[in-house]
């Protein structure tokens, strides 16, 4: 391969990985509707049905991604979270699903984090 081709291949690779990383908020919304996450976390994701259930609206997307990935891992793995309810919820989710769900929940107005 000559240098121009290599540069082109690198550019294409960078473009592809950017597409993969960009979250799709509308898809995140469709997914939480499909899985009916609101049945526990509240219709606005800020008024859960039980005080022990966490508010999700406005939470940092990184935190939500980390939490969902940890539930999916379960507690038999390093950095897993052990919760029977949420592990079952997270099991069917792909990395892409988690990325999109986190972006959607983060976009909602909530009282958890300060916005600058
Ligand atoms: C049957 C009730 C129920 C449903 C349905 C449910 N959750 Fe949960 N969720 C919980 C409970 C209870 C916890 C707290 C678990 C714990 O103590 O670790 C939780 C925790 C979480 C957390 C961690 C929040 C934090 O602050 O650490 C996230 C993120 C989350 N849920 C997202 C979702 C998503 C996304 C869906 C839909 C795919 C969903 N939940 C569906 C009950 C539910």
Measure Cα distances from 68 to 2, 12, 74, 82 in Å: 44, 30, 10, 11
- Give the tens place of pLDDT for each residue, 30-48: 999 999 999 999 999 999 9
86 lines ligand 1 (CB under 6 A): yes
HSE-CB at 44 with a 13 A cutoff on CA atoms is 7
Extract the residue ranges of the chain whose pLDDT is less than 50. 18-19
Protein residue with least CA distance to atom 23, ligand 1: 67
Please give the Cα distance from 103 to 107 (Å, whole number).
6
| 43 contact partners, CB below 8 Å, separation of at least 6 | none
Which atom from ligand 1 is nearest to the alpha carbon of 52? 12
Please give the Cα distance from 3 to 44 (Å, whole number).
53
């Amino acid at each position: 391969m000559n240098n121009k081709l290599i540069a082109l291949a690198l550019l294409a690779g960078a473009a592809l990985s950017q597409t993969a990383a960009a979250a799709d908020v509308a898809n995140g919304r469709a997914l939480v509707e499909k899985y009916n996450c609101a049945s526990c976390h509240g219709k606005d994701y800020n008024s859960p049905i039980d005080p022990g259930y966490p508010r999700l609206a406005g939470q940092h997307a990184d935190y939500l991604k980390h939490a969902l990935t940890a539930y999916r891992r379960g507690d038999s793995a390093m950095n897993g979270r052990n919760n029977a309810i949420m592990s079952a919820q997270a099991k069917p989710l792909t990395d892409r699903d988690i990325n999109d769900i986190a972006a959607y929940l983060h976009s909602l107005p909530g009282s958890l984090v300060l916005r600058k």
